[in-house]
Amino acid sequence: MNLVPLGKILIVTGLIIIFFGALLAFTGRFPSWIGQLPGDIHLKGKYGTFYFPIVTSLIISVIVSFLIYIFKGR
């Protein structure tokens, strides 16, 4: 069993986590565009708030899939 691709995926995942951790440590918040894209669902009601960042999730998914494709080497 070849574990090299798994190692690359773990390294990239770790780098992404470090990036967002440093971003939060130095700025105290995520960039303003995360979760504020057109198509993200944000409903405020009388008794609560519902928030679902669907477009942000799709963009992050595409980026992660592209990185996996690059590091997989195919």
pLDDT digit string (tens) for the chain, length 74 residues: 566 677 887 888 898 889 888 877 887 766 666 667 788 888 899 999 888 888 888 988 998 888 878 877 65
**Residue 23 near residue 31, CB atoms below 8 Å:** yes
pLDDT, residue 3, reads: 62
Q: 50 by DSSP, 3-state: which?
A: strand
Three-state DSSP state, 74:
coil
What is the C-alpha R_g of the chain? 16
pLDDT at 1: 54
Q: Distance between CA atoms of 14 and 21, rounded to whole angstroms? A: 10
Sole residue written with tokens 């669907």: 54
DSSP 45: -
Its domain, for residue 68, covers 4-72
- Based on the structure, what is the number of domains in the chain? 1
